[in-house]
Amino acid sequence: MSSFCAQGWAPMAQMAVPARWQEGGWRALASDGDSLLYVVKEGRGDIETWDDSSGKWAPIPSMGLDQGHKLVRAHCAVVGGKLYVVGTIDKNGKLSWGAKVYDPSSRTWMDQTNMKYLLLGATEAVSVWDELLVFGRFNDGVQHGAQAFHPEDENWKTIPSLHVTQTNFAVAAVGERLFLVGGSRNRNILNTVDVYDLRSDCRSSAVPSMSTKRAYSAAVGWDDLLYVFGGGNQTDGCLRSAEVLDTNSWTWS
């Protein structure tokens, strides 16, 4: 990603559509692993792409939410070259689950096949092995669940949950590993990082912690790097900073 270099961060071009924080701000990130970065805005569901080769932002067609409907708790992932957006749709104060898929080749949106069961609150979506993995909590707000969607047969299946005790964390995939970043536990904001090796089905907490405690952050994997953006904590409030983990050397910068 050209906006990061060995000396630190460099400014990126401004987005075409401004974010209004009272509507949730820019909430979700997804990368195609090559040159495109998608950023999803809550509320109206505006989405822009960053093309690393051109160094420019460009909006994509609207998700087509009906009037009075808002996108909240949005998360997204790129699977098979398509952008999958999952989250809760606020229909004039009534919440329901929503999932849509965007095909950049035709620049069109389609509704996604219904999941086996609804996951509400702190939902995260990542792409691994050409599947869409979705993690979240059941309606009781306590128990965690996870599902996987395979685009070829358009079927959802239940997979083991992350078995976490924190909430408001971020999840991103780098290769065949899932990184669970920050969050909160018993009202304490965390800077810890857990890694799940999907191939060996092993979990480790030996990853170096971030320099800053973060809940409600956004994370995305790009090449061998894990990017963590924003979030907040009790001391610093809302954060504008970002951190990058090199998964080869296991060092933060």
- Segment 6-60, tens digit of pLDDT: 445 556 676 665 554 444 444 677 777 666 778 777 666 778 888 777 888 888 8
Q: What is the dihedral of CA 237, 243, 247, 251, to 10 degrees?
A: -100
CB 44 within 8 A of CB 65: yes
Q: Which residues pair with 157 in a beta bridge?
A: 148
Contact residues for 123 (Cβ-Cβ < 8 A; gap 6+): 73, 75, 86, 87, 88, 134, 135, 136, 137
Cα 16 off chain centre by: 21
Burial of 97 (0-12, 13-18, 19+ CB in 10 A): middle
Helix ranges, the chain (H) = none
* pTM, full prediction: 0.74
